[in-house]
């Protein structure tokens, strides 16, 4: 009987420890995805869930929307606002970009609502490159909501070299009132 009590107490402690550990792990993971807000020359830029892009397992998908839904593609929301007429630029830096990802099937598109503003692919990208997503976009006492998508187009040939590659992109912005 004494052994049954001991096992029962050990079992209860293990369950409580697992619950606390799982809750702590969830909190730690979600707390790293905070918005980053930067003010540049009168323009305020907010990157939803931070300015770096590293946490999605990219896989070939039929559409970027399907990829975002299944967490196999990236959707990064960006809000830009200004209290005066300003022109801003938006950049994507390829801080960690292995040669295996250098392919035309790895694509990006930048939208404002349902309007496509710019698009491209990573066929000619090398680590350290800066990609201009938007150049001299005017903002005048309004807020603009942009969405950047990055995905592997499964409707194209995808080389096996794209598998299991680590990457890191960082969003940057610039602004001027001239």
Tell me the two tokens of residue 39: 């003010």
Tell me the two tokens of residue 112: 């404002």
- The residues with which 145 forms a beta bridge, in sequence order, are 79
β-pairing verdict for 130-140 and 85-96: antiparallel
pLDDT recorded at residue 165: 86
Which alpha helices (DSSP H) does the chain contain, by range?
Answer: 2-31, 64-69
Tell me the two tokens of residue 104: 């035309």
pLDDT recorded at residue 5: 62
Better-predicted residue by pLDDT, 114 or 82: 114
Q: What is the pLDDT of residues 90-146, one digit of tens each?
A: 999 999 999 999 999 999 999 999 999 999 999 999 999 999 999 988 888 788 899
Tell me how far CA of residue 73 lies from CA of 61, 123, 159, 169, in angstroms: 8, 17, 17, 13
Q: How far apart are CA 123 and CA 106, in angstroms?
A: 8
Better-predicted residue by pLDDT, 5 or 70: 70
Of residues 119, 92, 118, 122, the one with CA closest to residue 104: 122
Quick check: 16 pLDDT over 60?
A: no
Asked whether the whole model's pTM tops 0.85, one would answer: no
Q: How far apart are CA 174 and CA 135, in angstroms?
A: 9
Q: What is the pLDDT of residues 19-78, one digit of tens each?
A: 444 333 232 222 234 666 767 666 777 777 566 677 668 899 999 999 999 989 999 998
Q: How many CB atoms lie within 10 A of CB 124?
A: 10
Task: Tally the C-alpha atoms within 13 A of residue 71's C-alpha that lie toward its C-beta.
Answer: 4
């Amino acid at each position: 009987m004494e052994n049954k009590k001991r096992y029962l107490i050990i079992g209860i402690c293990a369950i409580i420890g697992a619950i606390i550990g799982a809750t702590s792990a969830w909190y730690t993971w979600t707390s790293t995805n905070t918005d980053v807000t930067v003010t540049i020359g009168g323009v305020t830029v907010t990157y939803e869930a931070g300015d770096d892009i590293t946490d999605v397992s990219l896989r070939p998908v039929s559409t970027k929307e399907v990829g975002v839904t299944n967490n196999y593609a990236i959707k990064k929301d960006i809000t830009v606002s200004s209290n005066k007429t300003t022109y801003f630029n938006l950049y994507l830096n390829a801080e960690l970009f292995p040669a295996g990802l250098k392919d035309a099937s790895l694509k990006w598109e930048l939208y404002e609502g349902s309007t496509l503003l710019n698009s491209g692919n990573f066929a000619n990208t090398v680590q350290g490159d800066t990609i201009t997503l938007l150049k001299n976009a005017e903002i005048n006492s309004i807020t603009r909501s942009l969405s950047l998508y990055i995905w592997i187009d499964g409707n194209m040939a995808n080389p096996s070299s794209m598998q299991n590659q680590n990457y890191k992109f960082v969003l940057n912005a610039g602004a001027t009132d001239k």
